[in-house]
Chain A
Amino acid sequence: MPANARPIGEWVSALLSGERRAVADALNVLDDRRPAAVAIAGKLLAALPTERIEHEGQIIGLTGPPGVGKSSLSAVLIAAWRTQGKRVGVLAVDPTSPLSGGALLGDRLRMAQGAPDPGVFIRSLAGRGEIGGLAALVLPMARVMATAFDVVLLETIGVGQSEVDVALHSDTTVLVVQPASGDTLQFLKAGVTEIPAVVAVNKADLGRPARKARDEMEAALRYAPMADWVVPVLLCSALYKSGVDDLVAALERHRLLLSQTGRLRQRRRDGVAAWGLRRLREEFGRHGVEILGGADSVLARFTEGDAPFYDVLEASRAELLQRFGSRTI
């Protein structure tokens, strides 16, 4: 039995009131693989208020190569949001050593400075190596955080699967690059990297190379226009706290765009659907998904109708378990 589990209704109200201990306990229970905990986690997820997790707040993904300053930038963003009175939750992902299964989680170093702020909550996560392992966790954790905080920030190294996940799990993705980041540029041009909502060229304090990087990025993104959003390429310096206001403003503009055009709910539902499809595929294989009518039909289960996402997942699982008989349990 996981420690500190509480009655679900009480727990959800504690989350809604932003109680930090309730958030910590919820994240722990989501992480807990024991069957009893998985059951409680399911109940908790199913009870998260739909209004809150589909229409409110902002989930921002911050991605970029190692050492570009994602955590440092998070720190200045957090400070800016705090002066606006917004409460912030952060999920920071670092890679796991494939050999030992161990990980060093060092992002707090740059984010949690000064006296502890009750309006900020940071949880570090290890990539855990296993394909999809992290993805399975990040979405529910982000939903719990979104219940408790106004802004949720996801930090990941923008390579491979985790980058795709960030795009999937966030409303607004920020690609952080630094001067002389040719690789990232090439990836963007080649379409390997998902087009972000905002590009932040950090370490602008290094001067000319930063401006050059911005110009190159802008040129590259000109060929990948989106209908009603021009991807801003912004210069900033986390070290000297410059350019932050513009970044904060761009993020806010993107949030307004999404919520006013009704795309926020759509995007979150799409993210949940992709997540749900992956979980079902992991548990039951391609065959299982076929039984449910194929990928599109599974996605539709999540995106259409009003049932809470976790209930949709559980209903689909139940359906398959019944079909497969007892063999799969």
Chain B
Amino acid sequence: MTGQAKGGRRDRPWLMRTYSGHSSAKASNELYRKNLAKGQTGLSVAFDLPTQTGYDADHPLARGEVGRVGVPICSIADMETLFEGIPIAQMNTSMTINATAPWLLALYVAAAERQGATPAELHGTTQNDIIKEYLSRGTYIFPPRPSLRLTSDMIAYTVRRIPKWNPINVCSYHLQEAGATPVQELAYALSTAIAVLDAVRDAGEVDAAEIPAVVARISFFVNAGIRFVEECCKIRAFTEMWDALTAERYGVTDGKSRRFRYGVQVNSLGLTEQQPENNVQRIVLEMLAVVLSKSARARAVQLPAWNEALGLPRPWDQQWSLRIQQVMAFETDLLEYGDILDGSPVIAAKVDELIAGARAEMARIEELGGMVEAIESGYVKRQLVASHTARLRAIESGEQVIVGVNAFRESEVSPLTTGSASILKVDGAAEREQIERLRGFRGRRNPDEVELALCGLVEAAKNGANIMEPSIRCAHAGVTTGEWAEALRDVFGDYRPATGIDIGSHSLGDPARIDELRRRVRETSNAVGRHLRLLVAKPGLDGHSNGAEQIAVKARDAGFEVIYDGIRLTPAQIAVAAMEEGVHLLGLSVLSGSHLGLVESVLAELRERGLGALPIVLGGIIPDDDADELRARGVAAVYTPKDVDMNRMIGEMVDIIRETSGLAPFGRV
């Protein structure tokens, strides 16, 4: 149906969410209540990295990360605090949680039960897509196969016990944030869905007749970039492909169960540090792509804020983004019409092109043995790194225009960014207080009950019984997040996925500059006697790997021998690697905000091994004040998202090595 809706009837708008949470359960609870009062219609919980990777607040790896990028949830007590005064049964809650998803769902169910609700009443979503964690998001714990088994346990449990729950949100969002093209997003997200559904089917807990019900509960979390026509078509392609896939592969006959249900967060990778006010236009256009098609409209939308590349958003910044959605939904006439793109030959042709590309790539994945094999072999990760390299080369060369970055750079002074107060600063006391709360909680529980509950968990993990019931028992017994994850680590082991940086050097950028860099690397290698070696390392729990990967690839292309061991290393591991590998330079990358503490610890570990003179550079989300402080502590250079000229950075790194060895610097490349 096209044309204006009758009687001024408008479609119901999508769910409007703001991804938030910080410091503590109490502080986050206050924030949520305020957001709900402002008209937000659902909650989207951001957890801190220790919670996402299964460590308690007092674990050494959690140092500096507690409450920083999300809310710390160590136990049922924290979960109850998070929802104090918020009736869980009436909430639609989205939880961005993956490796520890069964546990956070268990805590959520247990907290709801303590509020007097039953599981069957609950609505919401757990992200729970482990595959994209290996590819982009980085909060994996166990190897792929046991992880998928946990996913399939959760699906089997919720389909029966919490029928309105979305147990998994298959994410293409994070793939685009790691550089994926629209075709890759389509292909890898749908291949992931296949891997998950096959796992559920093969696990045998739900019988064949229930599979359509399972399919109907699968939802997606999609990205929308700035090429909004193409993005609009991508969404339509998703809709068509999912419809066909669920009918053909899983025999779902009911058309409604084959609907591609999805939420969106629009692209953040393209949001810039330079002239950050321009990000608002970007966000609006990106959002348009996913709400424009009535037949493929997003169910839920959350938007990043204008200051995305500067640091965490403050409540006011998030309010601005919420208002963008509200203007779109309530002021414009968008929701009064049928699908305005139906019948457009241009759109149809683009959709077909995307589908053809995605089908070809999905066939490739099948050929490799499916998504799990393609993860284990590193194939998919390499494809993503290669796409991201191509994207950055295009920006570097100016072929892809980014206003304020490689074009139209001159700017008046922005009143928005004057002073360092334009981002949220997390209270340093949050970590200490959380640790105190956790220790208090541990002291109050019944150790025998905890022990018994954990035994039940381990047994289920080993014998293949569904993990959810024992997890809920653990929640009630007072097991902590770290204990739950540790118990399963003992059974399943830890996993480190492929880094994907071993790609060919096809897109090198400006050949003259790369040749010049190679000459400098060669000459400096000769002068210092050994081939230049660079250790690129990511300390802490931070999973943002893009920058480190791209620096590693670029440095390799410039002639460095590069050692990069992936994310989540301790300062001690990094210092040991620097010594054993005899590197000339250490490049750290930290985007999680915990750079001050982490750099300090790395420096201390280096000194302890007699490497105090090893030069260090740092890249990431580093506010100016902190950058000054770090340089004062001896960091040779600090880079942030505005440094997009990687050739220049590599040139400077060569010069830093030269200066350390008493050689004259070459200067600008």
The interface of chain A, by Cβ under 8 A from chain B, is 2, 20-21, 24, 27-28, 31-34, 37, 67, 96-97, 99-106, 108-110, 112-113, 115-116, 121-124, 126, 128, 239-241
Chain B residues closer than 8 Å to A106, beta-carbon distance: 499, 501-502, 563-565
Q: Does the CB pair A115–B570 fall under 8 Å?
A: yes
B518 beta carbon closer than 8 Å to chain A = yes
From the candidates B514, B518, B610, name the one contacting A21 in the complex (CB within 8 A). B610
Q: Does the CB pair A100–B565 fall under 8 Å?
A: no
Q: How does the 8 Å CB contact mask read for B571-602 relative to A, with 1 for contact and 0 for none?
A: 01100110111100000000000000000000
List the B residue with the shortest CB-CB distance to A126: B561
Knowing A33-B526, A102-B559, A108-B563 are in contact, say whether A126-B531 is a contact too (CB < 8 A): yes
> Whole-angstrom distance between the alpha carbons of A308 and B582 in the complex?
27
From the candidates B518, B564, B582, name the one contacting A28 in the complex (CB within 8 A). B582
> Whole-angstrom distance between the alpha carbons of A109 and B563 in the complex?
9
Chain B residues closer than 8 Å to A110, beta-carbon distance: 496
> 15 interchain pairs (CB within 8 A)?
A28-B530, A31-B531, A32-B530, A33-B530, A37-B529, A101-B521, A102-B521, A104-B564, A106-B501, A106-B502, A106-B563, A108-B563, A109-B566, A115-B570, A116-B576
Q: Does the CB pair B580–A24 fall under 8 Å?
A: yes
Knowing A97-B556, A101-B518 are in contact, say whether A124-B530 is a contact too (CB < 8 A): no
Chain B residues closer than 8 Å to A128, beta-carbon distance: 531
List the B residue with the shortest CB-CB distance to A26: B582
Chain A residues closer than 8 Å to B505, beta-carbon distance: 97, 99-100
Q: Does the CB pair B562–A104 fall under 8 Å?
A: yes
Chain B residues closer than 8 Å to A100, beta-carbon distance: 505, 514, 518, 556-559
Chain B residues closer than 8 Å to A109, beta-carbon distance: 496, 499, 565-566
Among B378, B496, B552, the one with the most A-chain Cβ atoms within 10 Å of its Cβ is B496
B451 beta carbon closer than 8 Å to chain A = no
Knowing A113-B494, A115-B570 are in contact, say whether A104-B526 is a contact too (CB < 8 A): no
> Whole-angstrom distance between the alpha carbons of A109 and B548 in the complex?
14
Closest CB-CB distance, B288 to chain A, in whole Å? 40
> Whole-angstrom distance between the alpha carbons of A327 and B217 in the complex?
80
Q: Does the CB pair B529–A34 fall under 8 Å?
A: yes
> Whole-angstrom distance between the alpha carbons of A20 and B577 in the complex?
12
Q: Does the CB pair B582–A104 fall under 8 Å?
A: no
From the candidates B378, B501, B529, name the one contacting A2 in the complex (CB within 8 A). B529
Knowing A97-B505, A100-B505, A102-B556 are in contact, say whether A20-B496 is a contact too (CB < 8 A): no
Q: Does the CB pair A122–B502 fall under 8 Å?
A: no
Q: Does the CB pair B529–A124 fall under 8 Å?
A: no
Knowing A32-B530, A103-B561, A105-B561 are in contact, say whether A121-B555 is a contact too (CB < 8 A): no
Q: Does the CB pair B562–A103 fall under 8 Å?
A: yes
> Whole-angstrom distance between the alpha carbons of A189 and B219 in the complex?
52
> Whole-angstrom distance between the alpha carbons of A27 and B12 in the complex?
68
> Whole-angstrom distance between the alpha carbons of A110 and B499 in the complex?
11
Closest CB-CB distance, A97 to chain B, in whole Å? 6
From the candidates A27, A108, A116, name the one contacting B565 in the complex (CB within 8 A). A108
List the A residue with the shortest CB-CB distance to B518: A100
Closest CB-CB distance, A82 to chain B, in whole Å? 15
> Whole-angstrom distance between the alpha carbons of A32 and B514 in the complex?
25
Q: Does the CB pair A105–B563 fall under 8 Å?
A: yes
The interface of chain B, by Cβ under 8 A from chain A, is 143, 377-378, 493-494, 496, 499, 501-502, 505, 514, 518, 521-522, 526, 529-531, 552-553, 555-566, 570, 572-573, 576-577, 579-582, 609-610
> Whole-angstrom distance between the alpha carbons of A108 and B377 in the complex?
17
Closest CB-CB distance, A68 to chain B, in whole Å? 11
Knowing A34-B529, A112-B577, A128-B531 are in contact, say whether A102-B572 is a contact too (CB < 8 A): no
> Whole-angstrom distance between the alpha carbons of A2 and B529 in the complex?
8
Top 8 A-B pairs, shortest CB-CB distance: A32-B529, A102-B556, A34-B529, A116-B576, A28-B582, A101-B559, A102-B559, A109-B565
Chain A residues closer than 8 Å to B556, beta-carbon distance: 97, 100, 102-104
Q: Does the CB pair B582–A27 fall under 8 Å?
A: yes
Closest CB-CB distance, A307 to chain B, in whole Å? 28
Chain A residues closer than 8 Å to B572, beta-carbon distance: 115-116
Chain A residues closer than 8 Å to B576, beta-carbon distance: 112, 116
List the A residue with the shortest CB-CB distance to B557: A100
Chain B residues closer than 8 Å to A241, beta-carbon distance: 493
From the candidates A24, A31, A104, name the one contacting B501 in the complex (CB within 8 A). A104
Q: Does the CB pair B579–A24 fall under 8 Å?
A: yes
Q: Does the CB pair B566–A102 fall under 8 Å?
A: no
Chain B residues closer than 8 Å to A102, beta-carbon distance: 521, 555-562
Chain B residues closer than 8 Å to A32, beta-carbon distance: 529-530
Closest CB-CB distance, B12 to chain A, in whole Å? 48
Knowing A106-B502, A108-B565, A128-B531 are in contact, say whether A101-B522 is a contact too (CB < 8 A): yes
List the B residue with the shortest CB-CB distance to A102: B556
> Whole-angstrom distance between the alpha carbons of A24 and B499 in the complex?
26
With A24-B580, A102-B555, A108-B563 given, can you name 5 additional A-B contacts, CB distance below 8 Å? A28-B582, A99-B505, A103-B556, A113-B496, A116-B573
> Whole-angstrom distance between the alpha carbons of A106 and B572 in the complex?
18
Closest CB-CB distance, A11 to chain B, in whole Å? 15
> Whole-angstrom distance between the alpha carbons of A31 and B581 in the complex?
11
Closest CB-CB distance, B311 to chain A, in whole Å? 30
Among A34, A104, A128, the one with the most B-chain Cβ atoms within 10 Å of its Cβ is A104
Chain B residues closer than 8 Å to A115, beta-carbon distance: 570, 572-573
Q: Does the CB pair B579–A104 fall under 8 Å?
A: no
Closest CB-CB distance, B426 to chain A, in whole Å? 28
> Whole-angstrom distance between the alpha carbons of A110 and B143 in the complex?
13
Among B493, B518, B559, B563, the one with the most A-chain Cβ atoms within 10 Å of its Cβ is B563
> Whole-angstrom distance between the alpha carbons of A123 and B563 in the complex?
10
Closest CB-CB distance, A88 to chain B, in whole Å? 12
List the A residue with the shortest CB-CB distance to B554: A102
Knowing A101-B559, A108-B565, A116-B572 are in contact, say whether A123-B377 is a contact too (CB < 8 A): no
Knowing A106-B502, A106-B565, A108-B565 are in contact, say whether A121-B570 is a contact too (CB < 8 A): no
Closest CB-CB distance, A40 to chain B, in whole Å? 11
List the B residue with the shortest CB-CB distance to A2: B529
List the B residue with the shortest CB-CB distance to A90: B580
> Whole-angstrom distance between the alpha carbons of A124 and B573 in the complex?
15
Chain B residues closer than 8 Å to A33, beta-carbon distance: 526, 529-530
> Whole-angstrom distance between the alpha carbons of A100 and B557 in the complex?
6
Closest CB-CB distance, B628 to chain A, in whole Å? 30
List the A residue with the shortest CB-CB distance to B60: A115
Q: Does the CB pair B555–A123 fall under 8 Å?
A: no
List the A residue with the shortest CB-CB distance to B579: A24
List the B residue with the shortest CB-CB distance to A33: B529
> Whole-angstrom distance between the alpha carbons of A103 and B526 in the complex?
17
Chain B residues closer than 8 Å to A34, beta-carbon distance: 529
Q: Does the CB pair B580–A122 fall under 8 Å?
A: yes
> Whole-angstrom distance between the alpha carbons of A121 and B563 in the complex?
15
Chain A residues closer than 8 Å to B518, beta-carbon distance: 100-101
Among B378, B496, B530, B609, the one with the most A-chain Cβ atoms within 10 Å of its Cβ is B530
Chain A residues closer than 8 Å to B501, beta-carbon distance: 104, 106
Closest CB-CB distance, A117 to chain B, in whole Å? 9
> Whole-angstrom distance between the alpha carbons of A308 and B572 in the complex?
38
Q: Does the CB pair A121–B580 fall under 8 Å?
A: yes
Chain B residues closer than 8 Å to A101, beta-carbon distance: 518, 521-522, 531, 559
> Whole-angstrom distance between the alpha carbons of A80 and B173 in the complex?
41
Chain B residues closer than 8 Å to A108, beta-carbon distance: 563, 565, 577, 581
